[in-house]
Amino acid sequence: MNQFNKKLESAKTRQLKKYSIFSLIIIGFFFFTIIFLIYSRGTRIEVLPLEAGQLARISVVDNFSFSIRDVVYSISGNPIIKVSSPGFNDTTVTIGSVYLGKNFPLELSELPGKLVISILGNKENVANTSWKINSRDVARSAMLDQELEAGTYTINIDNPFFLPKELMVKINRNKKTKLQIDLQPVNGRLDVSSSPHGANVFLNDKFIGKTPLVNSQNGGIYSLRITADNFVDLIDKLEVTHTKSNLKRSYQLTRIKAKVIPKLSPEGGKLIVNGSLSKGPLFLSTDVEHRLTYMKYGYYPITKKIKLLSDQEKEISFQLEPEFGKVMISSSPPAEIWINNKIYSNSSIAVNLPAITQNIVFKKEGYRSVTKIVNPTAKFSQKVSVKLLTEYQARLQEAPREMTNQAGIKLKLFIKPGDFEMGAPRSQKGQRANEFQKRINLSKSFYASIFEITNSQYGKFKPSLRKSLGADNAPVISIDWNEAASFCNWLSKNEGLQAFYKIENKRVIGFNKNTDGYRLLSEAEWEWLSRKAGKAKQTIFSWGDEISIPHNTANISDESAKGKMNFYVPSYNDGYVGTAPVGSFNKEPSGLYDIAGNVSEWVHDVYSAIPPIGDAILVNPLGEESGQLHVVKGANFRSGSITMLRPSFREGLTNTGRDDVGFRVGRYLYGGKNE
What's the number of CA atoms in the CB half-sphere (13 Å) around residue 608? 14
Highest mean pLDDT among 124-128, 284-288, 330-334: 330-334
Helix/strand/coil for 430 = coil
For 324-388, CATH gives: 2.60.40.1120
Give the span between the Cα atoms of 634 and 601, in whole angstroms: 6
Q: How confident is the model at residue 452 (pLDDT cuts 50, 70, 90)?
A: very high
Q: What are phi and psi of 613, to 5 degrees?
A: -100, 125
Q: What are phi and psi of 152, to 5 degrees?
A: -105, 135
Select the more confidently predicted residue: 557 or 674. 557
Beta bridge partners of 651: 632
For 114-138, the DSSP string reads EEEEEE-S-HHHHTT-EEEETTEEE
Give the span between the Cα atoms of 531 and 361, in whole angstroms: 45
Instruction: Say what the pLDDT of residue 181 is.
Output: 86
CATH 2.40.50, domain 41-107, yes or no: no
Give the span between the Cα atoms of 245 and 557, in whole angstroms: 110
Q: How confident is the model at residue 139 (pLDDT cuts 50, 70, 90)?
A: confident
User: Could you report the per-residue pLDDT of 391-448, keeping only the tens digit for each?
Assistant: 888 998 999 999 999 999 999 999 999 999 999 999 999 999 999 999 999 999 999 9
Mean pLDDT of the region 176-181: 88
Alpha helices per DSSP H over 359-477? 391-398, 455-461, 466-469
Mean pLDDT of the region 460-488: 94
Instruction: Say what the pLDDT of residue 447 is.
Output: 98
CATH class of this structure's domain 187-252: mainly beta
Fold that domain 113-181 belongs to in CATH: Immunoglobulin-like (2.60.40)
Instruction: Say what the pLDDT of residue 514 is.
Output: 93
Mean pLDDT of the region 460-475: 92
- Residue 102 clears pLDDT 70, i.e. is over it: yes
Most distant CA pair in the chain: distance in Å? 196
Instruction: Say what the pLDDT of residue 31 is.
Output: 59
Number of Cβ within 10 Å of residue 377's Cβ equals: 15
The residue among 136, 148, 142, 154 whose CA lies nearest residue 177 is: 148
Q: Which architecture, in CATH terms, is 397-668?
A: Alpha-Beta Complex (3.90)
**Sheet with 187-195: strands ordered across:** 213-218, 187-195, 246-252
E runs forming strands in 266-406 = 270-273, 276-278, 282-285, 289-295, 302-307, 313-319, 324-332, 336-339, 342-345, 349-354, 358-363, 370-374, 382-387, 402-404
Average pLDDT, the chain: 90
Q: How confident is the model at residue 36 (pLDDT cuts 50, 70, 90)?
A: very low
Select the more confidently predicted residue: 371 or 466. 371
Mean pLDDT of the region 548-568: 91
CA–CA distances in Å: residue 118 to residues 126, 155, 177, 184, 480: 9, 13, 11, 14, 110
